[in-house]
Amino acid sequence: MKRGKTFIVSGPSGVGKSTVLNALLERRSNVYFSVSATTRDPRPGEEDGVHYHFLDVDTFRSWIVNDEFLEYAEYVGNFYGTPKKYVDAAMNGGKDVILDIEVQGAIQVTSKRPDTVRIFIAPPSWAELERRLTERGTDSQEKIQKRLLRAKVEFQTAHTYDYFVINDTVENAVRELDAIMTAEHCKPRERMEIISGR
Amino acid sequence: MKRGKTFIVSGPSGVGKSTVLNALLERRSNVYFSVSATTRDPRPGEEDGVHYHFLDVDTFRSWIVNDEFLEYAEYVGNFYGTPKKYVDAAMNGGKDVILDIEVQGAIQVTSKRPDTVRIFIAPPSWAELERRLTERGTDSQEKIQKRLLRAKVEFQTAHTYDYFVINDTVENAVRELDAIMTAEHCKPRERMEIISGR
């Protein structure tokens, strides 16, 4: 069976990444959406292994020591990370893996696995991102301005990504993501067995 | 207007490239299929500017001298080449350009224009290529064996291409070509204006 590939999808808060990725999963079968591990407590309705892999701090530390994370970070006193084993199981099973992680995590993953494909999802404009964050209604105006500033900082690294998708409409963004995944499977290194096997 | 990109599509005789490219043109609007220049005489039904740009030898030579070809070659006493001007006009008009050229021509084009994307179309197997060449009914068995040998030689360079499409079915091959063209437009260098313009 042909091994799957891993795709990192980054993008600022409010860009509509979840909507785009959910639509992508409907279009492409054979995709595993990576579930992060965390040391924070489950919130009501969150299931272990579905929303997160919930670990205690000692377990998380031992996974770090044993190099069992593709990337990890601390955020407001809690640890978050991408366990290797679920990613590898999916890839070995022929599935493509999507990692929804931030710029810092993307750097960690690609330094370990340079063949990981990095896709940055950007808003059509900053004004539109501000509008989406405001419309969402979950953040104060102060928090929205902080998110915008953070988005602009992250955006400075967007040119280091392999692909740059603009979420002007969900349909366009999904079409481009889908095309990128198909195209990446057409790279000669992905088809070396066919090329060398003749 | 966003400038178009140039895509080289190479592949052995009999692989079904014309069928795939015609189906691609139906799926993607805004594509210019490059018309070669040649010094050979028109055959019945061939129109100047449609099947070829028919040039006399002196004109062809002057175009070579003035660097007006992206690539050219001599084949059985006649010259064939890809004129720059039609390619550039199409790209400047926002169209993607497809060059249906061979491996040697592809090397010439990419040495002049490294941002050209190279796609190799391969048969699912050599046995299938032989079957297609035989079914076509245009060549003697000797000619078919020559074509097969040539295909195997060309195939040695396939790993230098950017993409490798296997024409198992026309539908699959077209889907992959279409995805490659879409994905290439998502490269950061294609969207620098958006990235830097914020």
Domain boundaries, chain B: 6-196
Say whether B165 and A186 touch across the interface (CB within 8 A): yes
Low-confidence ranges of chain A (pLDDT < 50): none
A126 and B CB contact within 8 Å: yes
> Which residues contact residue A111 at a Cβ distance below 8 angstroms, ignoring those fewer than 6 apart?
none
The topology under which CATH files domain A6-196 is Rossmann fold (3.40.50)
Give the tens place of pLDDT for each residue, A57-80: 999 999 999 999 999 999 889 999
What are the residue ranges of helices labelled H in B33-102?
57-65, 84-92
The SS3 call for residue A9 is strand
* Sign of the four-CA dihedral A35, A38, A40, A42: positive
pLDDT of residue A83: 97
Per the CB < 8 A criterion, the answer to whether B51 and B58 are in contact is no
CB-facing half-sphere around the CA of A75: CA atoms within 13 A: 11
Residues of A in contact with B125 (CB under 8 A): 198
Whole-number Å distance between alpha carbons of B118 and B104: 12
CA distance A165 to chain B (A): 6
B175 chain-A contacts, CB cut-off 8 A: 182
Q: Which of B158, B176, B191 faces A195 most closely, judged by CB atoms? A: B158
Chain position carrying tokens 């493509």: A96
Q: Chains A, B: CB contacts under 8 A, how many? A: 94
Q: Looking at beta carbons, which residues of chain B come within 8 Å of A125?
A: 198
Are B198 and A158 a contacting pair at CB < 8 A?
Answer: no
- Order of strands, sheet of B31-33, starting from the edge strand that comes earlier in the sequence: B31-33, B96-100, B6-10, B117-122, B163-166
Q: Do A198 and B125 count as a contact with CB atoms less than 8 A apart? A: yes
Q: Kindly report the nearest CA distance between residue A153 and chain B, in angstroms.
A: 12
Decide: B129 and B91 in contact? Cβ < 8 Å.
no
d(CA A110, CA A98): 14
Mean confidence (pLDDT) of chain B: 92
Q: Is B115 buried (19+), middle (13-18) or exposed (0-12) by CB count in 10 A?
A: exposed
Decide if B166 touches A, using CB distance below 8 A: yes
pLDDT, one tens digit per residue, over B132-164 is 889 888 889 999 999 888 888 888 888 889 999
Maximum separation of any 2 CA atoms in chain A, in Å: 62
User: In this predicted complex, what is the ipTM?
Assistant: 0.88
Sign of CA dihedral B143, B107, A195, A3: negative
Q: Is B173's pLDDT higher than 90?
A: yes
Residues B56, B97, B70: CA angle, nearest 5 degrees: 45
Nearest to A166 among B120, B166, B194 (CB): B194
Q: pTM for this one?
A: 0.91
